Amino acid sequence: MTPEELEEIRQNELEAQQSVPQRIHVCVAAGCLSCQSEAVKDALTREVDHRGLGGRCKVKGVGCMGLCSEGPLVSTHSGQLYQHVTAADAGKIIDSLDAAPVSRLAISTDIPFFERQKKIVLENSGTIDPERIEEYIAQNGYRALMRALTEMTPQEVIAEITASGLRGRGGAGYPTGLKWGTVAKAPGAQKFVVCNADEGDPGAFMDRSVLESDPHRVIEGMLIAAYAVGASEGYIYVRAEYPLAIKRLKTAIRQAERLGLLGADICGTGFKLRIDLRLGAGAFVCGEETALIASIEGKRGTPRSRPPYPAMAGLLGQPTLINNVETFANVPPILRNGSAWYAQIGTEKSKGTKVFALAGRVRNTGLVEVPMGISLREIVFDIGGGIPDGKQFKAVQTGGPSGGCLPAEALDMPVEYESLAQAGSIMGSGGMIVMDESSCMVDVARYFMDFCMTESCGKCIPCRVGTYQMHRILTAITEMTATEQDLKLMEELCDLVKNTSLCGLGQSAPNPVLSTLKYFLDEYKAHVHEHRCLAGVCQEKATV
C-alpha cells in the first residue's frame, strides 16, 4: 500500500458513493439496534428493491448518531433526521426523499443538541458504515498513518502529539505525548501498545460507541502510537459485554490486514504491528492499567504497586504504552490537521474535545462530543435539553464510581481536568449522570459504594474492608438507623481508603461519598437526625 494506492481507494469509494444520488443511513450501533433498527434497515432495503430504486437509492447501516434516547434513528442524504422509526415507516421515508419530510418522525437538527457539539472523535460516527474500511478511507482514513510512516520520524510524531496538548481520556488526564515519549525512551527489545477498552463506569458508553461506529480510527491511532514508541505488538483489551464492538473490531482488523495497513511490512516501510483482541471477563478493576496487564498475561486481574509504571515495565515486563479508546481516536485527526489546529480547541490545560455519555434525568440522553471548557450548564441544559417533567436539577455525576456529584452551584464551572478535580469530582472517562430532586444523594452514594465494594479485587485491606464498612454505614443511613458517630466514622474511613489503598479504584472509591458530604450534608443530617429522606426515596425503602 502506497499513498497513491490509498488515494485511489478513496477516490473510487467517493465516486461510488456519489453515483447514488439518494442515501438513507440507519443507525446500527447497540442503542438503536436494541430498539430494532436492524428491522428498519431491512424494511428500507426491501422497499428500495421492491420499487426498483437500486441504482438511485442506497440504504446503509452507520454508527451512532448521538441522540440515543430517540432511536431508532434514520437520516437521509439531505440531512433530514428521523426518530423512533419503525419498519412500517419505511415506505413513507422513501416517498419523502424527493418531497417534504415525514413530519411525524422528523427531528430538527438545528437544536442545541446538535449545534453545540464539536465532533472530532465522532466525526465519522453516524455517517460511515463501520464494517467497510473503504468508507473510512474515503473520509481521509489512514492518511495520518501514511503521513507518519512516510514523512515523519517517530520523534516527530511524539513531538506533534505533545504539542497538541492531548491528555489521556481514560480519566486521569496524563499528558499523552509525555507517556509516548517515556515508552519510546524506555529500553526494551519488545515493546507493546495496548488499547484500554474495558469501559466499566455505570452509565458510560463512549468507548463502546466509538468502537461500534468507527473502529478503524482506533486501529489507526494504535498504529501511529506503535510507530512512535517502537512497538510491534498490540492488544485491544475490550470487555466481553460488548459483543458488537468486538465483532466490528475483528472485521476492521481483518480488513486492515488485507490492505496491508496492519501486519508485517506496513506500507512497504518495514514497520510491523500485530493487533490481537483480549476480552475482559467482567471485572471493573481490569480497567486499571496494571490489572489490565495482569489480565492480558492470563493472570488474576489485580493491580500491583507502581512504580515501575507500565511505560517502563508493563506487559511481560516490557515497556508498554496503554491508552484509552478515545485517546487513540484523537490521534489520526491531530496528525492529519496538525497539532496547532488541535491545540486551539479547548482551554489552556485541557485541549480538544471530550465525549460524554449523557444519561439520567435529562431530556436528550445519548452521546455528545463537546469542546473542553464548555460549562456543565451548557451540557445539561442546552445540549441535554434540561430536566424533564418540570423537575428541579439537583446534581450531575461525572467520572463514575471514581468521580463525584456536583451541585447546581458548580454548573457554571468549565469542563476541564483541573476544575473538575478541584470541585471534588474528576473528568473520568466520560460518564455523566444527571439527577433531579427525586434522587436522594445518600442513596446515590450508597449505590456507587455498592459498586466499588463488589468490584474491589480484595487484594489490599483498605479497599477490601473499607468499601464494605462504608457501604454498611451508608446503608444504615438510608435505613434511618445510623448515628452521628457513624458519620464521623465514615469520614475517617474515607480518609483512610483514599490515602492508603493500592490502586486508583480504592483511592477514588470515597469520592462519591466525599462529594455528597461536601455539597449535600443537609441530606445526610436529615437522615441521621430527623430520620427523614428529603427526596422521599429512603422512606419507601425503609417501610418496604
Partner 1 sequence: MSSTDHVKTLKIDGRDCSARAGETILDVARENNIPILRLCELEGLSTVGACRLCLVEIKGARKLLPACATAVDEGMEVTTNSERLQSYRRMIVEMLFTEGNHVCSVCVSNGHCELQAMAQTLGITHMHLPYRYPKKQVDASHERFVLDHNRCILCTRCVRVCDEIEGAHTWDVMGRGIDSKVITDLNQPWGSSESCTGCGKCVHVCPTGALFEKGRSVAEMEKRRQFLPYLTLMREERQ
Binding site for partner 1 (CB under 8 A): 283, 300, 304-305, 307, 453-469, 472, 489, 492-493, 496, 499-502
Supply the minimum distance, in Å, between the C-beta of residue 477 and partner 1: 14
Query: 5 Cβ partners below 8 Å, 6+ apart?
Result: none
Supply the minimum distance, in Å, between the C-beta of residue 327 and partner 1: 23
- As a dihedral over the C-alpha atoms of residue 449, residue 454, residue 457, residue 463, rounded to 10 degrees, the angle is 30
Supply the minimum distance, in Å, between the C-beta of residue 468 and partner 1: 4
- 19 or 499: whose CB is closer to partner 1? 499
The H-or-E segment that residue 5 falls in is helix 3-18
CA distance 171 to 188: 28
- 151 or 492: whose CB is closer to partner 1? 492
CA distance 139 to 143: 9
With b for 16 or more beta-carbon neighbours within 10 A and e for fewer, the 112-127 pattern comes to ebbeebbbbbbbbbbb
- 102 or 496: whose CB is closer to partner 1? 496
Q: Burial, 86: exposed, middle or buried (Cβ in 10 Å; 0-12, 13-18, 19+)?
A: middle
SS3 state at 138: helix
- 367 or 445: whose CB is closer to partner 1? 445
- Measured CA to CA in angstroms, residue 379 lies from 202, 330, 354, 367 at distances of 19, 21, 11, 11
Supply the minimum distance, in Å, between the C-beta of residue 201 and partner 1: 17
- 97 or 502: whose CB is closer to partner 1? 502
Supply the minimum distance, in Å, between the C-beta of residue 464 and partner 1: 6
Supply the minimum distance, in Å, between the C-beta of residue 493 and partner 1: 8
User: 358: which strand partners?
Assistant: 366, 432
Tell me the three cell numbers of residue 351. 485541549
With b for 16 or more beta-carbon neighbours within 10 A and e for fewer, the 154-177 pattern comes to beebbbbbbbbbbbbbbbbbbbbb
CA distance 290 to 301: 8
- 107 or 496: whose CB is closer to partner 1? 496
Supply the minimum distance, in Å, between the C-beta of residue 316 and partner 1: 16
- 484 or 492: whose CB is closer to partner 1? 492
